[in-house]
Structure 1
């Protein structure tokens, strides 16, 4: 049996070598002269309209112009130490990362939406969006507020976000004069209509004696 099995294995190995002898061992590479997909041209340059939060600082660093108000001029001189103008682009110094490129309101909206709703986004919260914007090298003074305002308007987040389970108003503690000196009140219904169109019950129960009182009403109104 052993010799027969060994002979059969040798025969199969010889056949496999004979069948693969006609194939080439070269790796064929095909060079495509044209692209298989068409790319989309995306323009990311957004021109700001009108003055922004950077205008006074840029004017001071370019031309040395300052406002007439001494307090305002002093603030601009102090702020200018944290910024730098290189090749016409305004940057902010950063101690933990590289230079942060300063952006205006129109660019802010594009950056936040691209991080929050873009192709590689996860619809994260404002804090994560701001942290990623800083890692990507962007800065503007109202980062957290703008991220929160824009993310609140995201339709997908409004539809798919978890439902809040906490009450909208703060809970009010109730102090009892002695233990179990409290009544619990609840509304039950609607039930099938009865006489005088009543279909709701206002139920009250004494926590100590477990005494229950109920009142049938036709409708429930808040006040």
Structure 2
């Protein structure tokens, strides 16, 4: 399979499109690399450019001693498939009980 070699500007656009989920979600740099090569693109530093192998400092688990002591909020979107005009999903998670609630919302503001 022949791959088209991209310039720096074209490479940035290809990565941007893959990140914007035009090519589907990616789980890691290696997966993103695979997806870009699968659609036929390549540049000389595709695999080694800006590849972080470990976090800058060790990760620490989040723990909560009682319910609602530590909670997380995540906003997912924009989604284009809601019929009622909703574009985002707001999800709340209690870290103690792992209980989650999710609600559709109209705007991400």
- Normalising by structure 1, we get a TM-score of 0.22
Please identify the structure whose Cα radius of gyration is greater: 1
Higher RCO by CA contacts (8 Å cutoff, separation 6 or greater) = 2
Q: Which has the higher helix share?
A: 1
Q: Which has the higher strand share?
A: 2
- Normalising by structure 2, we get a TM-score of 0.42
